Amino acid sequence: MTRALLPGLLGGLLLAGGALAQGGAAPAPATPSQAAPAPAASTPGPTPQQQRMQSCNAAAGQRQLAGDARRGFMSDCLAGRTPAASPAAPQTPQDRMRSCNATASQRSLTGDARRDFMSTCLKG
């Protein structure tokens, strides 16, 4: 039975390969005119978003934040929710929790010390 199938399979592969070689031409590679336009050579400077990213990144570096604490700080900073970005804005309980959590992580507090710190920090 396998001897009868083998020639049929090989013949089918040969026919399929020949059909692909004749009729299925590969698309031509994109020419430079079809590619995405190159940025202008006379770019005036960083965009406001890039400036905000640079200043937030510098502030995170000064605070020596790493890991989740840095990620949380960068998220808040880029959204304009950091104390430096909005000093007069009232802090919501969620923002206070993020801030206290980041500080506790930065100080490497664990166990009872972390619980006591969080309690004091969240009270304001």
Q: DSSP 3-state assignment of 33?
A: coil
Lowest-confidence region among 4-18, 36-50, 71-85, 87-101: 4-18
Residue entry with tokens 């031509």: 28
Integer distance in angstroms from the first to the last C-alpha of the chain? 83
Quick one: DSSP state of residue 81? Answer: -
Token pair of 75 as six digits: 């998220």
Token pair of 70 as six digits: 């840095």
Which pLDDT score, from 0 to 100, does residue 43 have?
60
Mean pLDDT of the chain: 73
Tens digits of residue pLDDT in 68-114: 888 888 888 888 777 554 444 557 888 888 889 999 999 999 999 99
Which pLDDT score, from 0 to 100, does residue 111 have?
94
What confidence category does residue 41 fall into, taking pLDDT thresholds of 50, 70 and 90? low
Overall pTM > 0.85: no
Residue 42 CA, chain-centre distance (Å), reads 28
- Residue 65's contacts (CB-CB under 8 Å, 6 or more residues apart) are 73, 102, 106
